[in-house]
A = this chain, B = another copy of it.
Amino acid sequence: MEIAKPYLLFLGDVADQLAAKTALGIVDWRPEWCIGQHRLPGCKADCRIPDLTIAEAAAKGVKTMIVGVVNAGGVLPDHWVSAIVDALNAGMSVATGLHKRLGSIPAIAEAAAKNGGQLHDVRFSDMNFATGKGKKRAGLRLLTVGTDCSVGKKYTALAMEKGLREAGFNADFRATGQTGVFISGRGLAIDAVIADFIAGAAEWLTPENDPKHWDVVEGQGSLFHPSFAGVTLGLMHGAQPDAFIVCHEPTRTKMRGVEHALPTIGQVIDLTIANGKLTNPNIQCIGIAINTEHLDEAAAHAILTATATEYGLACVDPIRTGVKPLVAEIEKRFGR
């Protein structure tokens, strides 16, 4: 899948910043591709890039409007449809990560056909995958896992790709969710694959490679999330990680979207190894990434230090402190 750049980010009229995490992620990691945002009245999200009308965006050379927001259930509200039709009429392509195909909405299908715009439904995979084989492949793989959903697994993986490359490693981010696909321009939304093929799709995503090459795989969900643990497990079995990083958000009081308590980092390490050794007997935790965005500087450093001591592992906030200690850990344990 090739998505034409640059982008206009459509935010609709969502109720908070978290609903726009796709758009925010694209701006954070690929600001040079993001010409502006398009918001509807009442929108509570803001990417802090110029607000543009569809016509202004088209005049500035935008090639694709990204629907960079998710609402409950991944549905496309009726009142967003006319903005999408306008973008197509202005000559853009449109990409979404919603659960409904853009082309299933007659007005959108018609506008795309009339104007020749592409419709990218990132959450749908039209590929036929094989079932997973579980066979060891050459190359090294790093997976980010989480105590919950939305705790920084994608950010950590992107930061590790950057950090490993800066340190001279050969490393590639492997996107498994819609935002990651928009950021890297490739990959697949693993949770949109038919259940039988989760592990097989993860094997396709992280193919055999040079023995010293690192795939940095974006994790999904959590083994402790009752909605999505099946996806988490299938992805891990297919990715057969040599190393994993546990990602955690310390101010979360319960698992996102459900009533369950959060597991401890230690529980995540233990259950990840217990399950992950099936396809990689040498799987090991190389460190911890804590998202401290809701803490002040002192509290952030206190929790990083305390957690590092508690588990005897490198512990960073990829955004606040960077990932150098995790990259050093990779070098120490696996060499160059």
A-side residues, CB < 8 A to B, are 73, 130-135, 190-196, 198-200, 223-224, 226-235, 237-238, 257-260, 271, 274-275, 278-279
B73, B233, B258: the one within 8 Å of A229 (CB): B233
* Given known contacts A193-B195, A234-B231, A278 and B134 CB-to-CB distance under 8 angstroms: no
Tell whether A230 pairs with B234 under 8 Å between CB atoms, given A195-B195, A260-B278: yes
Which B-chain residue is minimally distant from A231 (CB atoms)?
B195
- The answer to whether residues A191 and B192 also contact, given A230-B233, A275-B229 and a CB cut-off of 8 A, is no
Docked-complex contact A199 and B223, CB < 8 angstroms: no
Copies in the complex: 2
In the complex, what distance in Å separates the CA atom of A232 from the CA atom of B132? 14
A250 to chain B, nearest CB (A): 21
**Which residues of B sit under 8 angstroms from A234, Cβ to Cβ?**
195, 229-231
The 4 A-B pairs with the shortest beta carbon distances in the complex, nearest first, are: A230-B234, A134-B226, A191-B196, A132-B227
Q: How far is the CA of A278 from the CA of B229 in the complex (A)?
A: 10
List of B residues within 8 angstroms of A259 by Cβ? 134-135
Name the residue among A195, A228, A259 with the largest chain B CB count within 10 angstroms: A195
Interface centre among A130, A191, A229, A271 (most CB of B within 10 A): A229
Using Cβ atoms and an 8 Å threshold, which residues of chain B touch A223? 275
| From B199, B226, B231, B271, contact of A196 by CB (8 A) | B231
User: 24 interchain pairs (CB within 8 A)?
Assistant: A131-B227, A131-B257, A132-B226, A132-B227, A132-B228, A133-B226, A133-B258, A134-B259, A134-B260, A135-B259, A191-B195, A194-B194, A195-B195, A195-B231, A196-B227, A198-B231, A199-B227, A224-B278, A226-B278, A229-B275, A230-B233, A230-B234, A230-B237, A271-B274
Chain B residue with Cβ nearest A202: B230
Output the nearest chain B residue to A192 by Cβ-Cβ distance.
B194
Whether A258 and B134, one on each chain, are in contact in the complex, defined by CB atoms closer than 8 angstroms, is: yes
Q: Is the CB of B195 within 8 A of A190?
A: yes
Nearest CB in chain B: distance from A227 CB, A: 4
Shortest Cβ distance from A131 into B: residue? B227
Tell me the minimal C-beta distance from A283 to chain B in angstroms. Answer: 13
* Residue from B132, B135, B226, B235 within 8 A of A199 (CB atoms): B226
Contacts of A232 in B (CB 8 A): 230
Contact A230 B227 (CB under 8 A): no
With a cutoff of 8 Å between Cβ atoms, the chain B residues found around residue A233 in the complex are 229-230, 233
How many Å lie between the Cα of A17 and that of B228 in the bound state? 36
Q: Which residues of B contact A194 (CB under 8 A)?
A: 191-195
Task: Determine the distance from Cα of A258 to Cα of B136 in the docked complex, in whole angstroms.
Answer: 12
- Shortest A255–chain B CB gap in Å is 8
- Cβ-neighbour of A230 out of B226, B231, B257 (below 8 A): B231
Cβ of A145 to closest chain B Cβ, rounded Å: 14
Distance of A84 from chain B, by nearest CB (Å): 21
Query: What is the distance, in angstroms, from A123's C-beta to the closest C-beta of chain B?
Result: 9
Is B230 in contact with A195, judged by CB distance below 8 angstroms?
A: yes
